[in-house]
Amino acid sequence: MTDVPAIQIDDAIEAVPGVGPRTAAILQRLAIGTVGDLLDHVPIRYEQEHAEASIAEVDASIPEEDGTTANVAVRGEIAAIKIPPGRRPRIEATLEDASGRIQLVWFNAPWLRNKLRPGMSLVAEGRAKRYRGYLQLANPQWRTVDEAEDLPARDARLRPVYAASEDLPSRRIEEYIDRILEPATTGMEDPLPERFRHARALRPLGEAYRAIHRPDSRRDADDGRRRLAYDELFLLQLGVMMKRRHLRSTLTAAALETTPDINARIRDRFPFELTPDQIRVCAEIGNDLARSIPTNRLLQGDVGAGKTAVAVHAMLLAAAHGHQAALMAPTSILAEQHHASIGRMLEGASLEIGLLTGSTPPAEKRALLERIADGSQRLLVGTHALLSERTEFADLALVIIDEQHRFGVEQRSRLRRPNRDGRVPHVLVMTATPIPRTLSLTVFGDLDVSAIRELPPGRSPTVTRVVVPGKAPDVYGFLADRVAAGEQGFVVVPAVEESDAGLADVENHRAMLEAGPLAGLRLAGVHGRMKPDEREAVMNRFRAGEIDVLVATVVIEVGVDVPNATVMVIEHAERFGLAQLHQLRGRVGRGSARGVCALIGEPTTEEGRRRLEAIASTDDGFEIAELDLGIRGPGELFGARQSGLPPFRVADLLADLDLLRIAREDASSWIEDDPRLLGPDAMEIRRRLLERYGATLGLGDVG
Ligand code: ADP
Ligand code: MG
C-alpha cells in the first residue's frame, strides 16, 4: 500500500482529535504519550454486548408459556420509578421506547435509588420474561446513554475494556481509539518481513491493531493479540541476539585454560571435596574461560548449593594465569563474608584477596585502587564500588556477580568496559533465585546457563511451618531450646524503625524478646542503617558464637553463611515475597543439623495465603520461582526495575511461552543472515529496536 496514514504512530497524543493538554497529562500517567502508545494500549478484556432490539420485538420473542429469552438489550427512556414496600427491597423502573414498555426490576440494590431517575436514557441487558402480565427484565445490566453517545441501535459485539483510571474511564479511551484506529492503521508500514509473517500465520500489523481493538469475534481478538505479542517478544530477542553476536565477534577476553596441574592446585585449597555437580559446573565454566570469546554465563543454584566454591575456583584460575578477578556482591555484609571465607582458603598462599566497598576507609581505598591499577592486586571482592569510574583494572579477566537479580542488564554491560589492553573480562553471574525458564529466555536470553541442583552432602531440607501470631510464644520457646542445645537462630522483622503500621522493628522486637520469651539469651540486632563497621562487628560475634540470636531485617537475606544457625523465625511473614522467604530460609540448615523455619503471620489476602502455603509446601527453589512468577507475575519479579528493561505491554510470559520460542527462532535466523540488521528490509525494525532497547541493552555500539 502506498497511502501514507493521515495520523502517524510517532505523533504526539495531542494529535488525537479531542485530546487536549489535560487529557494528555492523564494519558501520560498510563504511559501513553504517542499515537503508537495509544494503539499499544490494548484491551484487558472484552464484554459481550448483545444486539439491541425494540421492546415489541423482545415481547414477541418470549417463548410460549412462562419462558425466558436469551440475553437481550433494549434502549429506552425511564418513564417511571417505583420503590414498592415489602420485605424484599426492590426498585422498579418502567422503560419505554417507541414500540412499548418493559419493567426493569432490581432486588437488593438500594443504591440504585440515587442513580436512576425518570427521563434518563438507558440501555438495559438481561433475560426477559413475562411476570404477572408485565414484560420484565430482572436484575438487568444497564448503562446510561448520554447524548454524545446517542448512536443508532447497535449490533451484537465484543466491547473492549481498557485499563483506565478514575478520571479517564475505559469508554473515553475507546472513543480516542475509535478516532485514530482507521487513519493510523490503514496503509501502516509493517516492519515484520512477509516471510516471517507468512511462516507463522501472523496478521499484518495494521490488521492486528484493528482486530485487537475492534474484534469481530474472540478468535479475531486472539489473532490480533498474538501478532502484537509476537512483535514484542521478537524485538527483544532480536536485540539480545544482536548484542550477543556483536560481543562474540568483536570483543576478546583472556583465554584461561584449566590445566590438570592448575586444577589440582586449586582443588587443594578447598576444605571439602567438591560435589559432582560442582565439578561439572566448574568444567562448563572452565570450557568457556579457556576461549578468548568473552564468557557470559549464568550460574543457578539454590541457596546453600555451594556456588561460592565454583566462583572461587574460577577466580583462582584467572589468578593462576596472572590475571585479575573480581567478585561482586549485592551488600557489604556479603562482600565482607566472602572476603573472610576466601581469605581463609588462601591462608599460606602468596595471594591475598582485597575488599572494596563503599565503606572502605579513604587511605586504604587509595592504596587498594593503586594496586588494582598496577595489577598487583589480583583477587578482589566488593560491592557496586567495584563498578565506580575510579576503579581502573590493569588486567581484569573475570568478573563474578553474586546474586544476579540485584544487577540489571545495564550494569552488566558496564562490566564490559575493556581493560587497558583492549580485552574485556569474562562475566559469570550467580543467582540463588532461580530464574524461571521463561525469563531466562528473554531478559537473560544472552546468557548461557549452568545449574547446581544437588546440595553438598549431609544436608537435610529445612522444615517450614506457618504459625499464627497467637502461637509465637511456642516458636520462641523452641528457639530457646535450640540455643540451649548449642545452636543459633535468626529472627527477621520487616521494619528497621518503629513505624505507624504497627510492625515489629529491630530494636523494639529485640527488647521485647529479651524481656520475655528469650530472657537470658544473648541477642543483638542488625539492619541496613547501621554503620558498616558496627554491623560487621555484630556479624563477626554471631559467627564466633558470641551471640545466640540475631534480630535482623532482610539485610541477612542473601548469602549469610553461619552453619551453626538452625532456626529462622520470620515475623509478619505475609509481608515478604516468595523468593525472599526462600532466601531467608536458606540462611539456616547450612550445617549438618536440620534447619527449621517458622513463618509467623496471618495473611489477610488470598494471595498472601497462597504464598505462605506455597513456601511451606516445597523446598525446591526452581518450583518456588515458577510459583512466584505465577502469583505475582513477571512484571513484579523481574520487572523494569530489576532487569532495566521496559515491560511488555501485550506479551505475557506465562501465557506466551510458545510464541516466545517461535520469536526466538525467527530472531536467531534473521541475525544469522544479517547480524547488524543493515539489510533494506530491516530498516524499520532496526529503528524500533534502537528506540526501545538501544539504551538498556547497550546497542549503541553495535552498529
Ligand atoms: P550458595 O550457593 O548459597 O552461595 P555457599 O557457597 O555459601 O552456597 O555454600 C553453602 C555452604 O556449603 C557453605 O558453608 C560452604 O562452605 C558449604 N559447601 C559448599 N560446597 C561444599 C562441599 N562440596 N562439601 C561440603 N560443604 C560445602
Ligand atoms: Mg552465596
Measured over the CA atoms of residue 667, residue 672, residue 676 and residue 681, the dihedral's sign is negative
Does 653 sit in the ligand 1 pocket, CB within 6 Å?
Answer: no
- Taking the CA of 565 as reference, the closest ligand is 1
How many Å apart are CA 323 and CA 336, to the nearest integer?
Answer: 22
Asked if 181 and 209 touch (Cβ cutoff 8 Å), the reply is yes
How many Å apart are CA 481 and CA 459, to the nearest integer?
Answer: 21
How many Å apart are CA 424 and CA 415, to the nearest integer?
Answer: 8
State the amino acid at position 644 in one-letter form: G
Write down the mean pLDDT value for the chain. Answer: 85
Does 592 sit in the ligand 1 pocket, CB within 6 Å?
Answer: no
- Among candidate residues 576, 678, 587, the one with its CA nearest the CA of residue 628: 576
Does 303 sit in the ligand 1 pocket, CB within 6 Å?
Answer: yes
Stretch 400-414: mean pLDDT, rounded?
65
pLDDT in tens, 313-324: 999 999 999 999
- Taking the CA of 275 as reference, the closest ligand is 1
How many Å apart are CA 363 and CA 172, to the nearest integer?
Answer: 62
In this predicted structure, what is the pLDDT of residue 638?
38
Does 304 sit in the ligand 1 pocket, CB within 6 Å?
Answer: yes
Asked if 265 and 319 touch (Cβ cutoff 8 Å), the reply is no
Give residue 637 CA to ligand 1 midpoint distance, Å: 26
User: What confidence category does residue 619 fall into, taking pLDDT thresholds of 50, 70 and 90?
Assistant: confident
Higher confidence at residue 188 or residue 559?
188
In this predicted structure, what is the pLDDT of residue 61?
84
Q: Which residues are within 8 A (CB) of 535 and not within 5 positions of it... i.e. 6 or more apart?
A: 332, 333, 526, 527, 555
The CATH superfamily holding the domain 260-452 is P-loop containing nucleotide triphosphate hydrolases (3.40.50.300)
pLDDT in tens, 585-613: 888 887 778 899 999 998 888 877 887 88
Asked if 126 and 139 touch (Cβ cutoff 8 Å), the reply is yes
Does 39 sit in the ligand 1 pocket, CB within 6 Å?
Answer: no
Q: Which residue has the cell 539454590?
A: 302
User: What confidence category does residue 192 fall into, taking pLDDT thresholds of 50, 70 and 90?
Assistant: very high
Is residue 494's pLDDT more than 80?
yes
- Give CA separation, 243 vs 408, 531, 595, 676, 696, in Å: 15, 40, 43, 9, 11
Give residue 329 CA to ligand 2 midpoint distance, Å: 9
In this predicted structure, what is the pLDDT of residue 2?
46
Is residue 438's pLDDT more than 60?
no
pLDDT above 70: percentage of residues in the chain:
88
Q: Which residue has the cell 440494590?
A: 109
The reported pTM is 0.64
How many Å apart are CA 39 and CA 74, to the nearest integer?
Answer: 31
Instruction: Pick from 405, 406, 452, 561 the residue to mutate for probing ligand 1's pocket: most ligand atoms within 8 Å of its CB.
Output: 561
pLDDT in tens, 28-61: 988 899 999 999 999 998 987 777 888 998 888 8
What does the block give as the cell for 693?
Answer: 532497547
Q: Which residue has the cell 502469583?
A: 631
Q: Give one word for 485, left, alpha or beta, with left for phi > 0 and alpha for psi -120 to 50.
A: alpha
Is residue 636's pLDDT more than 50?
no
pLDDT in tens, 211-241: 999 998 889 999 999 999 999 999 988 988 8
Asked if 327 and 355 touch (Cβ cutoff 8 Å), the reply is no
Give residue 280 CA to ligand 1 midpoint distance, Å: 15
In this predicted structure, what is the pLDDT of residue 190?
92
State the amino acid at position 244 in one-letter form: R
Q: What is the CATH number of domain 463-618?
A: 3.40.50.300
Give residue 307 CA to ligand 1 midpoint distance, Å: 7
Does 134 sit in the ligand 1 pocket, CB within 6 Å?
Answer: no
The most confident of the ranges 161-170, 281-290, 667-676, 680-689 is 281-290
Residue 358 per-residue DSSP state: T
In this predicted structure, what is the pLDDT of residue 150?
52
How many Å apart are CA 181 and CA 318, to the nearest integer?
Answer: 58
How many Å apart are CA 451 and CA 430, to the nearest integer?
Answer: 10
Does 337 sit in the ligand 1 pocket, CB within 6 Å?
Answer: no
Q: Report which ligand 1 atom has the smallest distance to the Cα of 586.
A: 3
- Among candidate residues 433, 494, 389, 386, the one with its CA nearest the CA of residue 642: 433
Does 386 sit in the ligand 1 pocket, CB within 6 Å?
Answer: no
- Taking the CA of 309 as reference, the closest ligand is 1
Q: Report which ligand 1 atom has the smallest distance to the Cα of 563.
A: 14
Q: Are strands 141-144 and 134-138 parallel, antiparallel or unpaired?
A: unpaired
Report domain 51-155's class: mainly beta
**Domain limits, CATH 2.40.50.140, in the chain:** 51-155
Q: Which helix (DSSP H) or strand (DSSP E) does residue 550 occupy?
A: strand 549-552
Is residue 631's pLDDT more than 90?
no
Does 274 sit in the ligand 1 pocket, CB within 6 Å?
Answer: yes
In this predicted structure, what is the pLDDT of residue 500?
57
Does 591 sit in the ligand 1 pocket, CB within 6 Å?
Answer: no
What does the block give as the cell for 104?
Answer: 426493569
Is residue 195's pLDDT more than 80?
yes
Does 305 sit in the ligand 1 pocket, CB within 6 Å?
Answer: yes
Give residue 323 CA to ligand 2 midpoint distance, Å: 23
Please list the residues that pair with 429 across neighbouring strands: 298, 401
Specify the residue with its C-alpha closest to ligand 1, atom 20: 306
Q: Report which ligand 1 atom has the smallest distance to the Cα of 311.
A: 6
CA atoms within 13 A on the CB side of 372: 28
Q: Report which ligand 1 atom has the smallest distance to the Cα of 301.
A: 2
User: What confidence category does residue 634 fall into, taking pLDDT thresholds of 50, 70 and 90?
Assistant: very low
In this predicted structure, what is the pLDDT of residue 437?
59
Does 53 sit in the ligand 1 pocket, CB within 6 Å?
Answer: no
In this predicted structure, what is the pLDDT of residue 498?
67
Is residue 442's pLDDT more than 70?
no
Give residue 519 CA to ligand 2 midpoint distance, Å: 33
pLDDT above 90: percentage of residues in the chain:
44
In this predicted structure, what is the pLDDT of residue 523?
96
What does the block give as the cell for 462?
Answer: 529445612
pLDDT in tens, 557-575: 655 778 899 999 999 998 8
Asked if 67 and 106 touch (Cβ cutoff 8 Å), the reply is no
pLDDT in tens, 66-125: 788 878 889 999 999 998 887 777 899 999 998 999 999 998 887 788 889 999 999 898
Ranges of beta strands (E only) in 108-171 are 121-131, 134-138, 141-144, 157-161
How many Å apart are CA 385 and CA 378, to the nearest integer?
Answer: 17
User: What confidence category does residue 155 fall into, taking pLDDT thresholds of 50, 70 and 90?
Assistant: low
Higher confidence at residue 436 or residue 538?
538
3-state DSSP assignment of residue 373: helix
Give residue 306 CA to ligand 1 midpoint distance, Å: 4
Does 432 sit in the ligand 1 pocket, CB within 6 Å?
Answer: yes
Does 590 sit in the ligand 1 pocket, CB within 6 Å?
Answer: yes
Instruction: Pick from 272, 279, 300, 462 the residue to mutate for probing ligand 1's pocket: most ligand atoms within 8 Å of its CB.
Output: 272
- Taking the CA of 458 as reference, the closest ligand is 1
How many Å apart are CA 578 and CA 491, to the nearest integer?
Answer: 17
Q: Which residues are within 8 A (CB) of 665 and not within 5 positions of it... i.e. 6 or more apart?
A: none
**Domain limits, CATH 3.40.50.300, in the chain:** 260-452, 463-618
- Taking the CA of 559 as reference, the closest ligand is 2
> At how many degrees (to 10) do helices 218-250 and 683-693 cross?
80
Residue 449 per-residue DSSP state: E
Q: Which helix (DSSP H) or strand (DSSP E) does residue 438 occupy?
A: helix 437-440
What does the block give as the cell for 7?
Answer: 495520523
pLDDT in tens, 412-434: 666 777 777 788 999 898 887 66
Specify the residue with its C-alpha closest to ligand 1, atom 21: 456
Give residue 303 CA to ligand 2 midpoint distance, Å: 7
User: What confidence category does residue 621 fall into, taking pLDDT thresholds of 50, 70 and 90?
Assistant: confident
Instruction: Pick from 266, 590, 619 the residue to mutate for probing ligand 1's pocket: most ligand atoms within 8 Å of its CB.
Output: 590
Higher confidence at residue 619 or residue 103?
103
Asked if 637 and 628 touch (Cβ cutoff 8 Å), the reply is yes
pLDDT in tens, 158-175: 889 998 887 888 889 999
Does 309 sit in the ligand 1 pocket, CB within 6 Å?
Answer: yes
Burial class (CB in 10 A: 0-12, 13-18, 19+), 353: buried
In this predicted structure, what is the pLDDT of residue 597?
95
Specify the residue with its C-alpha closest to ligand 1, atom 9: 306
How many Å apart are CA 302 and CA 515, to the nearest integer?
Answer: 37
Is residue 641's pLDDT more than 50?
no
Does 564 sit in the ligand 1 pocket, CB within 6 Å?
Answer: no
Stretch 517-539: mean pLDDT, rounded?
88
In this predicted structure, what is the pLDDT of residue 374?
93
In this predicted structure, what is the pLDDT of residue 637?
38
Q: Report which ligand 1 atom has the smallest distance to the Cα of 275.
A: 23
Q: Which range (155-159, 224-228, 544-548) has the least confidence?
A: 155-159
Give residue 320 CA to ligand 1 midpoint distance, Å: 23
Asked if 446 and 243 touch (Cβ cutoff 8 Å), the reply is yes
* Angle at alpha carbon of residue 342, lines to 339 and 344, rounded to 5°: 105
The strand order across the sheet containing 379-382 reads 353-356, 379-382, 324-328, 396-402, 426-431, 296-301, 448-452
3-state DSSP assignment of residue 94: strand
Higher confidence at residue 617 or residue 487?
487
Give residue 455 CA to ligand 2 midpoint distance, Å: 13
Does 306 sit in the ligand 1 pocket, CB within 6 Å?
Answer: yes
